[in-house]
Amino acid sequence: MEWGIQSVVSKASFAGETMEKRFFFEKYGVNERDLERYLGAALSAGGDYADLYFEYVTSTGLSVDESMVKSASQGISAGCGVRVVTGERTGYAYTDDLAPEKILRAARTAALIASGPAKTPVVSMKEPTHPNLYPVTDAAADAELSKKVELVFRADKAARAYDSRVQEVRAGYADELRRILVIGSDGTFAEDVQPLSRLSVFVIARDGKSSAKGSSGGGGRHRFDIFLTEKTPEHFAEEAARQAILQLNAVPCPAGEMEVVLGPGWPGVLLHEAIGHGLEADFNRKKTSAFSGLMGKRVASDKCTVVDNGTLNERRGSVNVDDEGNVTNNTVLIEKGILKGYMADKLSARLMGLPNTGNGRRESYEHIPMPRMTNTYMLSGDDLPEDIIKSVKRGLYAVNFAGGQVDITNGKFVFAASEAYLIEDGKVTAPVKDATLIGNGPDVLTRVSMVGNDLMLDEGIGTCGKDGQSVPVGVGIPTLKIDRMTVGGTGSAE
Amino acid sequence: MATTGIQVELDLRELVQGAVKRAMQLGANAAESVVSEGSEFGTSVRLGEVETLKESGSRGMGVRVFVGKHTANTTTSDLSPEGVEQLVRGAIELAKITSEDPMAGIPEADQLGQIDGDLGLYHDDVYSLSNEERIEQARRAEKAAMAVDARLTNSDGGTFDASIGRKVLANSHGFVGEYRSSYCSISAVPIASDEQGNMQRDYWYSVARTLKRLESPEEVGRIAAERTLRRLGARKIKTQKVPLVFDRQTSVALLDHIFDSVNGDAIYRHASFLAGKLGEKIFGANVTVMDDGTIPGGFGTRPFDSEGVPTRRTTVIENGELKSYMLNTYTAKKLNLQTTGNASRGLAGTPGIGNGNFYLQPGEKSQEEIIKGVKQGLLVTEFLGFGVNLVTGDFSRGASGIWIENGELTYPVEEITVAGNLREMFSNLSEIGSDLIWRGSIACPTLRIEGMTIAGE
């Protein structure tokens, strides 16, 4: 798969004027005067800024397990969060009851953060045009349930058909439709309808002597049809089964420092952990990031250019507007190895005098927004992937990962390889067992000596956790060679 | 607050019983409904100034229906009569598309029940402080941390949080039960810098069900500072095999993996390296693991599990022999066993499996004595990442810690991984500490493990 990197901000549309427009106004009787009252209450004790975040989410989930759809679930969640910001302080309260008196009470609670004369909000009902990155109608959530059931059965069948050693198969399908309305005391007005769907497959293979697992999945902000054409159940099922069968014969992973080649796509979780979090503006405002004070300095080899791009069509990490009502951007974080930009939300942009990059995101109306990644990836370089492998005498070729974690302050990060191979004399040889790779964020990219011409983004399965809040994200890299990294296996390095 | 007043309590019981009744009217042959409500308060103070103040209450409801052998479940935050009607109808409708599962169902009527008496899970004092007093708790914790040493130059703040919750469960066998719970916690996260400007962060916290049992903000701050300072100047070490000592923060994570490995869900799917090992010697003879959902005031204590089965005390591993899996109704049926009262659920989805108070039986020696016995090795104080494969038991996680030389703690170590296999690791426990301390629903004393690999330089 090839993913072009294009900005689609110019593709403004009037999706907002269609049937989805004014959802909260119609369903909950919200009106302009109420909104003014709520924001007025929020700023009744002063404060620099206040906003209201209305959210209404419907979700569906079902899975096949032992070739049965054992259960299915659907849910509705609705609520409103009120935020008041004064200086560096934030007051927050929410309600899952959208009755006017409940929202007013939340506004008065949030107002407790400030102590000063009341301010009058500027309420605008004029929505600026925003991009239209994903389908509002025909989203996956609208498809008939029977079609969703069909997907997981197909995945089950395909995984079992792949190899008789595939003994356990679980396949899950989940979608949601999230409607948001953000009203800010600075005139912010944004509405969006955000579809999201995902298909995932988990497989266990067994032979006479060992067991192994494999998993795969993907999705995004698509029409349902994507699962019938590109991201088919068979595609994910066969991929999960392939990994599990491969792992049956994996050898212990070597331990110690060695050359590491990362395959394209999902191994981009390296960027997410090693540098992504460290470049979120909040940590840098507080100077608690290992990247604090490195703006304009070299943090990667000159082959590395890294962006965070929330404007890619239908990607899992993309949104038309962030959860503060700002349009998302294609933000350059590292250009030819030099640190160029942070990812900012309203609060950090204002306090740090930075551009607001549209990275203010939150898990739900119960949460305070903060700077978060969208789709974070490295641009393609000039090297051929096969040349990169050939250049390694002895090392590790890691193509699939199970996720990672980072300590923002000291910069140490890990990511766990779930599919990796030894490289011996320029050739990919034996598959190795799961192992964690560990490195130091501010210098791991300085050891990138080759960058492939094969950028891929992941298939749409990533969820990022920060301070207890989960948001969907995307990652990607071309094939990369890192000259030295610590690999945490149990085998001998020699 | 949402949880005061007798009237409101009666309403919630009626609400779940009404949903069950409605499901039966609409054609279900069994049904279960749960409602939970809670209030939370949280504040953080950074560098002496209030950073966030958050306060809210929420409610939600879930229903699970069985139509023939078809199951489905729905959730909503709309508890109006229309919302509940939509919830129940939605579930009945949804059940039409699921498969027949011969094992599906709620527990038998004679399995239901609850532990009587006050289990000490709820203390309303956690919500008794004024906003100013709450902020002061957070402020004091941070201040105490920063005062310990001049190298503590920055902070991720101090926090005070409190929450109260109530859960009501009913099913079509006529079971209805409810309990309340409360929590409060204090934390501090100081940041230290060395002469080169390299930063380290660590934290400490105290959590309790009542303010009376919460450590003082000063104590929390002091420990957080000490934990942070001891990381300054950390280095990498060579790739090698040496004895590893896991302190309580990391040993509890290892025991958590063992809980996941005896989880009935993983067992019947053969997704655990302990599947099919019931009655076998799996670990060293010094390993005994218990799960007890009945300890008064415990973080894992509940009067009944999420299916209305009374919680109990279960011997999981005795002298290295696997005695029991952790089961709910469904997984017990799949394995032809009896539920252990470990069903666990939020509002959404089918019940999973959760621990009660899950712990490894302590030994005789203090952590100091265990460290004294190590000629060369590593005290592991933190894990980074989640590199565990339960299917194989293979374990590989990022770690940091303190090097042990001739029984003494020396310099801090970072940017390494520690790797092994859970089955071998728990067969090679050469020491088990006496220091079993409950700071959550899983507790494990200090452990010394032989034969693991450190990957470093």
Q: In chain B, how many domains are there?
A: 2
How high is the pLDDT of residue A368? Answer: 97
Which of A224, A248, A272 is the endpoint of a domain? A248
Angle, helix B6-25 to helix B81-95, in steps of 10 degrees:
30
Instruction: Verify that B257 and B361 share a domain, yes or no.
Output: yes
Assigned token pair, B175: 């079971």
Instruction: Assess whether pLDDT exceeds 90 at residue B386.
Output: no
B153 in A contact zone (CB under 8 Å): no
Structural domain including B361 reads 234-457
Q: Chain A interface, mutation test: which of B134, B239, B331, most A Cβ atoms within 10 Å?
A: B239
Going residue by residue through chain A, which has 494 residues, state the pLDDT in tens, using 9 for 90 and above: 222 222 222 222 333 344 445 889 888 888 889 999 999 999 999 999 999 999 999 999 999 999 999 989 999 999 999 999 999 999 999 999 999 999 999 999 999 998 888 888 888 777 777 888 998 777 788 889 999 999 999 999 999 999 999 999 999 999 999 999 999 999 999 999 999 999 999 999 999 889 999 999 999 999 999 999 999 999 999 999 999 999 999 999 999 999 999 999 999 999 999 999 999 999 999 999 999 989 999 999 999 999 999 999 999 999 999 999 999 999 999 999 999 999 999 999 999 999 999 999 999 999 999 999 999 999 999 999 999 999 999 999 999 998 889 999 999 999 999 999 999 999 999 999 988 999 999 899 999 999 999 999 999 999 999 999 999 999 999 999 999 999 998 886 54
Instruction: Verify that B238 and B135 share a domain, yes or no.
Output: no
How high is the pLDDT of residue A126? Answer: 77
B335 in A contact zone (CB under 8 Å): no
Which of A248, A279, A305 is the endpoint of a domain? A248
Instruction: Verify that B144 and B273 share a domain, yes or no.
Output: no
Instruction: Verify that A329 and A373 share a domain, yes or no.
Output: yes
Instruction: Verify that B360 and B212 share a domain, yes or no.
Output: no
Q: What is the CATH number for A228?
A: 3.30.2290.10
Which of B200, B228, B256 is the endpoint of a domain? B228
Q: Nearest-CA residue of chain B relative to A169? A: B269
Instruction: Verify that A188 and A334 share a domain, yes or no.
Output: no
- Indicate yes or no: CB of A436 within 8 angstroms of CB of B396: yes
Q: Chain A interface, mutation test: which of B99, B154, B196, most A Cβ atoms within 10 Å?
A: B99
- Indicate yes or no: CB of A412 within 8 angstroms of CB of B414: yes
- Indicate yes or no: CB of B387 within 8 angstroms of CB of A402: yes
Separation in Å, CA of A385 to nearest CA in chain B:
27
Instruction: Verify that B222 and B310 share a domain, yes or no.
Output: no
Instruction: Verify that B250 and B306 share a domain, yes or no.
Output: yes
Q: Nearest-CA residue of chain B relative to A402? A: B387
Q: Nearest-CA residue of chain A relative to B156? A: A288
How high is the pLDDT of residue A360? Answer: 98
- Indicate yes or no: CB of B52 within 8 angstroms of CB of A368: yes
Give pTM, 2 decimals. Answer: 0.93
Find chain B residues with C-beta within 8 A of A206's C-beta.
Answer: 270
Find chain A residues with C-beta within 8 A of B56's C-beta.
Answer: 92-95, 106, 109, 366
Dist CA B302 CA B289 (whole Å):
19
- Predicted ipTM of the assembly: 0.91
Instruction: Verify that B330 and B189 share a domain, yes or no.
Output: no
Instruction: Verify that B273 and B401 share a domain, yes or no.
Output: yes
B391 in A contact zone (CB under 8 Å): yes
> Which residue from A290, A404, A489 is facing B396, i.e. has the nearest CB?
A489
How high is the pLDDT of residue A29? Answer: 87
How high is the pLDDT of residue A242? Answer: 97
How high is the pLDDT of residue A21? Answer: 58
Instruction: Verify that A259 and A371 share a domain, yes or no.
Output: yes
Find chain A residues with C-beta within 8 A of B453's C-beta.
Answer: 255, 488-490
Q: Is residue B393 domain-resident?
A: yes
Find chain B residues with C-beta within 8 A of A255's C-beta.
Answer: 239, 417, 419, 453-455
Find chain A residues with C-beta within 8 A of B94's C-beta.
Answer: 72-74, 145
Instruction: Verify that A324 and A364 share a domain, yes or no.
Output: yes
Instruction: Assess whether pLDDT exceeds 70 at residue B295.
Output: yes
Structural domain including A448 reads 255-488
Residue whose pair of structure tokens reads 């400490």 in the numeric block: B204
Q: What is the CATH number for B101?
A: 3.30.2290.10
For B131-136, which contacts have Cβ atoms below 8 Å and span 24 or more sequence positions? B131/A112, B131/B43, B131/B53, B134/B41, B134/B43, B134/B160, B134/B162, B135/B43, B135/B45, B135/B50, B135/B53, B135/B160
Question: pLDDT tens digits, residue range B229-287?
Answer: 999 999 999 999 999 999 999 999 999 999 999 999 999 999 999 999 999 999 999 99
Closest Cα partner for A378 from A265, A261, A466, A260? A265
How high is the pLDDT of residue A116? Answer: 84
Which of B228, B252, B287 is the endpoint of a domain? B228
Q: Chain B interface, mutation test: which of A270, A486, A492, A494, most B Cβ atoms within 10 Å?
A: A486
Which of A248, A280, A298 is the endpoint of a domain? A248
Q: Is residue B185 domain-resident?
A: yes
Give the three-class secondary structure for B452.
coil
Question: pLDDT tens digits, residue range B422-433?
Answer: 999 999 999 999
- Indicate yes or no: CB of B199 within 8 angstroms of CB of A433: no
> Which residue from B50, B59, B453 is facing A490, i.e. has the nearest CB?
B453
- The DSSP H or E segment spanning B204 is strand B204-208
Instruction: Verify that A202 and A308 share a domain, yes or no.
Output: no
Assigned token pair, B209: 């069900």
Instruction: Verify that B155 and B220 share a domain, yes or no.
Output: yes
Angle, helix A100-110 to helix A32-42, in steps of 10 degrees:
30
